[in-house]
Amino acid sequence: MTLKPDFDKYPDGLVPTIVVDDKTEQVLMLAYMNAKSYQLSLTDKQTWFWSRSRQELWHKGMTSGNTQDIVSMQIDCDEDTLLVRVNPAGPACHTGHTSCFYRNIELNSAGGK
């Protein structure tokens, strides 16, 4: 049985994809794959995504050189989210940070309990 994401579960056909550094276990980013970017990722063994803002396929690192070589891919129990473990060639975030998750929200800030 070959597992693959159920792109039809989402109206836009985009499956959330969590990217993790295989060596450090650090969550690097959250992006979205459609059927085409998923297939390109499997073929190239590098991450491809669908850019929601630009409405186009996006090969991670194409312009920056910060590519992500895929080590493994896992799918969740509902087959609608991917976890991709990578060896990154540089920072994942367009700001230059290693991870897109570099800012902390204070839990005692206004609006919290």
pLDDT band at 2 (very low <50, low <70, confident <90, very high): confident
Taking the whole predicted model, whether its pTM rises above 0.85 is answered as yes
Q: What is the DSSP string of 34-84?
A: -HHHHHHHHHHSB-EEEETTTTEEEETTTTTS--EEEEEEEE-TTS--EEE
Sign of CA dihedral 6, 22, 69, 30: positive
The conformational region for residue 4 under phi > 0 = left, psi -120 to 50 = alpha, else beta, is beta
**Which residues are documented as binding site for Mg(2+)?**
76, 78, 80
CB 15 within 8 Å of CB 78: no
**Is the pLDDT assigned to residue 15 strictly greater than 90?**
yes
Q: How many domains does the chain have?
A: 1
The CATH number linked to 77 is 3.10.20.810
- pLDDT, one tens digit per residue, over 27-53 is 999 999 999 999 999 999 999 999 999
- Residues placed in the known binding site for Zn(2+): 77, 93, 100
**Cα–Cα nearest to 90, from 46, 40, 39:** 46
Closest by Cα among 91, 31, 101, 100 to 64:
91
Look at residue 80 in the predicted model and tell me its pLDDT.
95
Q: For residue 81, is it within any domain?
A: yes
In this predicted model, what pLDDT tens digit does every residue of 59-107 receive, in sequence order?
999 999 999 999 999 999 999 999 999 999 999 999 999 999 999 999 9
Annotated binding-site residues read 76-78, 80, 93, 100
In a domain, residue 29? The reply is yes
**Joined tokens for residue 40:** 């390109």
- What region does 90 belong to: left with phi over 0, alpha with psi -120 to 50, or beta? left
Structural domain boundaries, residue 71 = 19-88
